Structure 1
């Protein structure tokens, strides 16, 4: 098998269970802001509507059609408005608390630490993420990931988001790595896998949801510890 020197990871939904973290934080804030008494109910409907709206706005953000500050508050504003709560101040307070609390949740996927312990002695490890810089830094620290990663590249730092090839080239240069000696591990075919492929990196698809596809990918696993078997 090809000998890699550098392994690049996506963060959210690859190393970190972003969906669980978001759900737990939302439930905490739902109670803090007494949203039930404001007519926002039931909680699971509120959360489900937010997920839909957030995905739509994140797609616009990734395509650079909207700014970070707008995304941060507007996703909560639109969700609350679905329940007849037209309150931008409440949306802003919810947004600020969410960004402060969510990254502090310890929500690594099972097997992450074991896998990183195995890999860290054999490769230089790196992260490439589209998440907000300050949020991802808090998340990495709170979950004890700092010691494993030589570099962390955020889209804010690089000035461009995955899947655009420029962020991968930026991360490679920052890591002093060549594409042919590097492997990208991520959960999103378009954002992580095809993005890495466009610059000549091999790819490992973390397909925890068993998503069907017809793409040619170097490796595919359905659980974190399977990476040990591949590498």
Structure 2
């Protein structure tokens, strides 16, 4: 009976489980500030905004920064500020660059007959590491998601179609992520592109369904590109 009463009390007191002893994120942040100072608490909270960084990792990174020489910590802070201030989208493919046109688009040695379409700039980096693809890229800056209010007009699809109508491209490799959004985007692109007489292929399922190209290793990406199929 006492245990049942304690559970009820925990529920009424904001949903904190009496038996777990775990502090909620906001409370944990206050505890960090109280123990080690507000600056450390703010740093931990800031690091937790990065993808894949939980509280434990954020605390570890924060203490690592604290232990660095001042010039190294300042270098990290300055590098982040420089990244934000100097980065922009390539005027052609929309990947990240510091110039109007990225290094890949300005490289005359690349194969102009093939374009690989990806969702995000980070995907370009992964595909380049595989060393298999030597064509051009096009970054959609997202994927179709009607439930989230993201339609064709919110992506760089118009820009892609303009590039294709120029006539140099014979194959479009759709390398959107193997997710529901990525698959629906691939099918939509196929319907748009095929009437132009251009071959549309899809990367193979060496990549896990529901996964993200960004987290695939080079050999997996290589197999996915080499095993691509006609859409």
Structure 2-normalised TM-score? 0.32
Rg larger in structure: 2
Structure 1-normalised TM-score? 0.32
